[in-house]
Amino acid sequence: MDLNGAGALVAGGASGLGAATARALAARGARVALLDRDGEAAEALARELGGDASAHAADVTSESEVEAAIDASWRALGELRVVVSCAGIGWAEKVVGRGGPAALKPFETVVAVNLIGTFNVLRLAAAAMAENEPDAEGGRGVIVMTASIAAYDGQVGQTAYAASKGGVVSLTLPAARDLARSGIRVCTIAPGTFDTPLLAALPEDARAALGRQVPFPARLGEPDEFAALACHIAENGMLNGETIRLDGALRMAPR
């Protein structure tokens, strides 16, 4: 796929991996729409990107809000060829701790945002993409989702996060098969420890220690590296139904 002039939507696009992806897409000539719960931050980034970049406030768990945002993006851009879904949250709690069993509500919330929210964006974006005119190979678009290496190497206290991201990994292949007849590709990126707002609150020595755990390069991943892979997936027509670990060969220890 040629990204120059392509209509692209980034969910969770106002910060972190999503913001880096929006910038990378725009740098390649894509016309970018941002979907984020933080509407003000999304609008600020849209102004930075310039051109016909737009911002749409929406919670990925809301059917009506995501539907409205995708519809507005589709109308503004004329079509959606690329959708990158980056919205997500984390939560740390053991199954049974000193105070008893883990609370159920945080687990439900993490799964609702990370897995159900991802599927909500996937299904509505795919429906919009299905209306596109096919390219020479019959392609109508590509959807890139975000998992985590926690899907494979979940650590102590990561039951909710790992389960939600494992669900995204398991969603990838059947979704790609479902959408193959519509010419829509689906892939997922499973990043390792990346320098995102989620880690920004940690002390610098703690962040450095996390980086040293990575075999090579021994540092935290950069959001631009995630963005570069998301763009490559869009550009490489043979990538479909695959989850790609982006982790510097890191395999997480139990703690």
Q: Which of 107, 161, 194, 226 is catalytic?
A: 161
Distance linking the first and last C-alpha atoms of the chain: 41
**Which H helix or E strand runs over 166?**
helix 159-179
Angstrom distance (rounded) from CA 76 to CA 83:
15
Does residue 215 have a cis peptide bond before it, meaning omega lies within 30 degrees of 0?
no
Q: Where are the alpha helices (DSSP H) in 30-136?
A: 39-49, 63-77, 104-111, 117-129
Exposed, middle or buried: residue 163 (CB in 10 Å: 0-12, 13-18, 19+)? middle
Q: At 211, which helix (H) or strand (E)? A: helix 204-212
Rounded CA gap, 152 and 161, in Å? Answer: 11
Can 161 be counted among the known catalytic residues?
Answer: yes
Phi/psi at 14 (nearest 5 deg)?
Answer: -90, -10
CA 88 – CA 84 distance, rounded (Å): 12
CA dist 189 and 120 (Å) reads 18
- For the chain, the C-alpha Rg in angstroms (whole number) is 18
Contact 157, 92 (CB under 8 A): yes
Catalytic residues: 161
